[in-house]
Chain A
Amino acid sequence: MDIKSSLHQIKEKFKGNKFAPAFNAFHTFLYTPNDVTKGGTHIKAADDLKRTMNMVILSLVPCLLFGIFNAGYQHYAAIDAANGVIREVSLFGNFINWENFILGATKVIPLVVVSYVVGLTVEFIFAVIKGHEVEEGYLVTGMLVPLIVPVDLPLWMLSVAVIFGVVIGKEVFGGTGMNILNPALTIRAFLFFAYPTWMSGDKVWVHGAVERTGTPEAISGETILGSYAQNQEIMYSLYDMFIGFIPGSVGETSKILIIFGALFLIFTKIGSWRIMLSTILGALFMGLIFNQVVDFGWITETSKFYGLMNVPFWEHLLIGSILFGAVFMATDPVTAAQTLKGKWIYGFLIGFISIMIRVFNPAYPEGVFLAILLMNVFAPTIDHYVIEANIKNRLNRLKIKSS
């Protein structure tokens, strides 16, 4: 008997059993089920939610791989910098090599594993309790979470945050498709407010920087945003920022790979180009306003806002996680605006508010995740007004008719 029919028999045996959803979750990864249409259309298009989610994961894989190498590279680069050695980055020389990979992988892979294992366990438990199938939402969330945290984040903190994020951010609303806040960002927000010392500052962004603090081997773990916020000189070139040879959260430093991911999502018609584009436009617009403010001389070099306000408006896209947020976070269809017009407004405001928080909050300059969470809350309101227009047209049609 082949695997297919033996699995089929197990499935039939467990039908109606409490743990059927758990078995089915694994079974459906191997085989798309033998379900046939019943009532309604007799044929169905090829795509299901697994395929859709899988596309998002595929688009994130390059960022993850880059993040692994970068974790290693930044560690060794910071040691060199502390010893006064000037490093010139070369992609296939001192970046893509075993040394970096092994160090990076030992730090990053555990983050991925913990994120998935903890998150999916929570999902399985809820699926069994509530008797529904395990939904695929966490597959993407579980991949996003390790990419948006500092590399040295203790694993127990990640576990606590994931449990919080999945339960409070998603399951209490009714599971995948019902949540108001982006689960990955809920997890990040929890980490940020519960363990601020591990989520911000000038140490956490490079592996080893925290544990070496105060020792003779101390190294810097500062991001570009942090340097700007303290009005310091920036040591990285635009090329470094674009390719991603900079410290930051695990997977969001490489702008070029994020752009590749974005193009893949747009091409496969999975991601909303409207949200991506409007977020970028919103960020550029806010950046431009700040540039004008500086040009008019309203803010001078003595101001604590000067550093970030004076960043050329387009350079905002290359630093911090605005691009990652625009492509992978803001576009989450469940928590974003759902109407076409609404998506434009929603994205624009995310970009706009992200840069505003970035400039006005020098203590923690990365405002993207807060901006997205804020707009998640307002997305239904935006949709409401867009739909209201449609409803008004309908009422007007009736009025014209009856007058």
Chain B
Amino acid sequence: MSKDIIVIKGLDINLVGDAEKTLDISKDSKFYSVYPEDFHGVYPKLIVKADDKVNAGDVLFYDKNDEEVKFVSPVSGKISEIKRGERRKVISINILADKNIEYKNLGKLDSKASKEKIVEYFLNAGLWPFIKQRPYDVIANHKVSPKAIFVSGFSSAPLSADLDFISKDYQDKIQIAIDVLSKLTDGEIHMSIRKNSDSILSDLKNIIIHNVSGPHPAGNVGTLINKVSPINKGEAAWTIALQDLILIGSVIESGKFSSERIVALVGSSIDNPRYIKTTIGSEMSTILGKGIKDNSRIISGNVLTGKQSSINGHLDYYSNTITAIPEGNDYDLFGWTRPIFDKISTSRALTFSWLLPNKKFDLNTNTNGEHRAFVVTGSYEKVFPLDIFPMRILKACMYNDLEEMEALGMYEVAPEDFALTEFICVSKQPHQEIIRKGLDEMKKELG
């Protein structure tokens, strides 16, 4: 079954450094790291200590707020270090990996398993963290049954992995995951794919396919939810990333926590943008090798929503993209008034990107101006397809009016939905951070 969705408002950001569709196999990393910070809102309670031996799939820590949600090791080896920050907050769990990875036997999932059994399997196998929920954009609450599950089958974000490419050999695994997950919801599983693409995803069964056309954020799962079935107060929807469906499928099939992942290496600072097969938690230095320019920013994720990393960092638990772009830590003479041809703008204020719709830009990390109060109105709406007033909800978050946040549609949004408005913001306000804090506040106060 398939339906059409047309997204009109949005903005495609064309950048230099798209990955060529070739797949390399990464060298094995010596050390692997898991950052509890990747799991927003989780308060980690470690059950391993330094020098412990773990197998891939062994539990490293669980969430103090919900002790059944467990986080497992992506590889086998010895815990080399548990890095702590202020007030003994766990920064990362570093693992010195074995040459040959040994797996914990997670058992197989009976094809007729009940809903409870499936949830239990997911929790114990460390698969639960891959299921996220709206509202609040956090790891799903397993005690609640979602009204539907949403998966984005294509990415419209700038320089992000082509999901058709990374999924092309894994149709069977995705199907396994979908068949199991469909038992967890009373509703349907919805997936968006790019209209007129020849994605293998359109052949999936047990799922409603939506053919989406239009500019970014057409590929965001939040856009799909808003167009299909916006979340009301008291409801929950689950979202799962496509690369995580592949992982879930292969774990269910094999009974082993195989944390292999195909990652796109993109951005103008990477000499040879391509796809690479690696493992969750791998060292950036191993994945990237030498082919990276100086004074670059390395991002685990895409340029709009990714996390800042470094050559000493590690691939995070959710990312399917590593981006490297030039740092913009330089001054620009009369940058506020000279005509601009080499940067993207949605205005025509002596900025000429409107003349160059097909140009690929090489943007750096400069903010192009200083932080200011909100002044300009009406521009966010042009890149924001959800039926929500973006500036209003941002301001409601800033002054922490929970009632107003709820009325304006806070249950429907995630920080990533505000990435484009943040990108074009003339006042350089941190929209995603504002929304994130607002969601956290709401979750704390309203559950």
How far apart are the CA atoms of A206 and B348 in the complex, in Å? 38
With contacts A46-B340, A54-B336 taken as known, whether A32 is within 8 angstroms of B368 at the C-beta atoms is yes
Docked-complex contact B367 and A35, CB < 8 angstroms: yes
Asked whether B387 lies within 8 Å of A390 as measured between CB atoms, the reply is yes
Report whether over half of chain B's contact residues are helix, strand or loop; otherwise say mixed.
Answer: loop
Q: How far is the CA of A244 from the CA of B16 in the complex (A)?
A: 50
Cβ-based interface call for B123 (8 A): no
Determine whether A394 belongs to the interface, using a CB cutoff of 8 Å to chain B.
yes
Residues in A whose Cβ lies below 8 Å from that of B351: 46-47, 51
Q: Which of A38, A177, A270 contacts B349 (CB 8 A)?
A: A270
A136: Cβ under 8 A from any B Cβ: yes
Stretch from B86-94, B167-175, B254-262, B370-378 forming part of the interface with A: B370-378
**A183: min CB distance to chain B, Å:** 13
**Cβ contact within 8 Å between A338 and B377:** yes
Beyond A47-B349, A270-B347, A338-B377, whether A32 also contacts B335 by CB under 8 A is: yes
Q: List, in ascending order, chain B residues with CB within 8 A of A387's CB.
A: 389, 392, 408
The answer to whether B299 touches A42, judged by C-beta atoms less than 8 angstroms apart, is yes
Q: Which of B25-33, B180-188, B321-329 contacts A (4 or more CB under 8 A)?
A: B321-329
Assess the B347–A41 pair: CB atoms within 8 A.
no
Within the assembled complex, what's the spacing in Å between the Cα atoms of A42 and B268?
A: 13
Whether a CB of chain A sits under 8 angstroms from the CB of B228 is: no
* Contact assessment for B370 and A133 in the assembled complex, using a CB-CB cutoff below 8 Å: yes
Chain A residues within 8 Å of B378, by CB: 272, 333, 338, 340, 343
Collect the chain B residues with CB atoms within 8 Å of residue A177's CB.
372-375, 427
Whether the pair A45, B325 counts as a contact (CB closer than 8 A) is: no
Which B residues between 335 and 367 are near A, CB-CB below 8 angstroms? 335-337, 340, 343-351, 353, 363-367
Q: A31-B332, A34-B331, A269-B347 are in contact. Are A42 and B325 (CB under 8 A)?
A: yes
Known A42-B297, A49-B426, A394-B407; judge A33-B349 contact (CB<8 A).
Answer: no
B409 close to chain A: CB less than 8 A: yes
Contact yes or no, A50 B375, CB < 8 A: no
Any A CB within 8 A of the CB of B391: yes
Write out the residue numbers on chain B whose beta carbons fall within 8 Å of the beta carbon of A32: 331-332, 334-336, 366, 368-369
Instruction: Give the chain A neighbours of B423 by CB distance below 8 A.
Output: 41, 43-45
CA distance A4 to B335 in the complex (A): 13
Within the assembled complex, what's the spacing in Å between the Cα atoms of A62 and B353?
26
Least CB separation from B351: chain A residue: A46
Q: Within 8 Å of chain B (Cβ to Cβ): is A37?
A: yes
A41-B419, A42-B304 known; A48 vs B373 contact (CB < 8 Å)? no
A48: contacting residue among B306, B368, B387, CB under 8 A: B368
For residue A165, give the distance in angstroms from its CB to the closest CB of chain B: 18
A1 within 8 Å of B (CB atoms): no
Within 8 A of B (CB), among A374-403: 383, 387, 390-391, 393-395, 397-398, 401
Please measure, in the bound complex, the distance between the C-alpha atom of A387 and the C-alpha atom of B327, giving whole angstroms: 40
Cα(A135)–Cα(B376), bound, Å: 13
The answer on a CB contact under 8 Å between B375 and A49 is yes
The answer to whether A45 touches B343, judged by C-beta atoms less than 8 angstroms apart, is yes
Instruction: Output the least CB separation between A175 and chain B (Å).
Output: 7
CA distance A339 to B373 in the complex (A): 18
Interface residues on B, range: 35 or more
B369–A401 CB distance below 8 A: no
**Are A268 and B348 closer than 8 Å at their CB atoms?**
yes
Min CB distance B264 to A, Å, is: 16
| A398 lies within 8 A of B345 (CB) | no
Which of A30, A175, A391, A398 interacts with B334 by CB under 8 Å?
Answer: A30
Of the residues A174, A336, A401, contact of B377 by C-beta under 8 Å: A336
CB distance from B257 to the nearest CB of A (A): 31
Contacts of B327 in A (CB 8 A): 36
Asked whether A401 lies within 8 Å of B232 as measured between CB atoms, the reply is yes
Is residue B422 within 8 Å, beta carbon to beta carbon, of the partner chain? yes
Interchain CB contact under 8 A, B370 and A41: no
B37 interface residue (CB < 8 Å to A): no
- Contacting pair A397 B230 (CB below 8 A): yes
Q: Within A39-66, which residues are at the interface with B (CB < 8 Å)?
A: 39-52, 54-55
What is the bound-complex CA distance between A96 and B336, given in angstroms? 33
Contact B329 A34 (CB under 8 A): yes
A76-110 interface code vs B (CB 8 A; 1 in, 0 out): 00000000000000000000000000000000000
The yes or no answer to B432 lying at the interface (CB within 8 A) is yes
B432 touches A33 (CB 8 A): no
B369 touches A51 (CB 8 A): yes
Which chain A residue shows the least CB distance to B420? A41
Docked CA distance A36–B323 (Å): 16
Contact A48 B330 (CB under 8 A): no
CB pair A46 B368 closer than 8 Å: yes
For A393, list chain B residues within 8 Å (CB): 387
* Assembly CA distance A38 to B334 (angstroms): 23
Is there an interface contact between B389 and A339, defined as CB atoms closer than 8 Å? yes
Scoring B343, B371, B426 by chain A CB atoms within 10 A of each residue's CB, the highest score goes to B426
In the complex, the answer to whether A51 meets B381 with C-beta atoms within 8 Å is no
Give Cα distance in the complex from A296 to B319, angstroms: 73
Name the distance in Å between A30's Cβ and chain B's nearest Cβ.
Answer: 7
Choose from B350, B365, B377, B433 the contact partner of A42 (Cβ within 8 Å).
B365
- The contact of B335 among A31, A37, A390, by CB within 8 Å, is A31
User: Which of B234, B377, B427 has the largest count of A CB atoms less than 10 A from its CB?
Assistant: B377
Whether the Cβ atoms of A46 and B353 lie closer than 8 Å is yes
Per-residue CB proximity of A1-40 to B under 8 Å, as 1/0?
0001001100000000000000000001111111111111
- Bound CA–CA A378/B355 (angstroms): 39
Contact assessment for B409 and A47 in the assembled complex, using a CB-CB cutoff below 8 Å: no
Does chain B have a CB within 8 A of A370?
Answer: no
Whether A230 is near chain B, meaning CB under 8 Å from some CB there, is: no
Q: By the criterion CB–CB under 8 Å, are B303 and A42 in contact? A: yes
- In the complex, the chain B residue whose C-beta lies closest to that of A174 is B373
Residue of chain B at shortest CB distance from A50: B336
Q: Are A45 and B424 interface neighbours, CB within 8 A?
A: yes
Asked if B330 contacts A34 (CB within 8 A), the reply is yes
- Show 8 A/B contacts (Cβ-Cβ < 8 Å), sorted by A: A30-B333, A33-B331, A37-B367, A42-B323, A46-B353, A50-B336, A270-B347, A333-B378
A-B contacts besides A39-B430, A52-B347, A387-B408, 17 pairs, CB < 8 Å: A34-B328, A35-B367, A36-B366, A36-B367, A41-B304, A42-B304, A42-B306, A43-B15, A43-B363, A49-B375, A50-B337, A51-B349, A269-B346, A333-B377, A338-B392, A390-B388, A398-B232
Please give me the 5 A-B residue pairs with the lowest Cβ-Cβ distance, nearest first: A48-B369, A32-B335, A177-B373, A46-B343, A50-B336
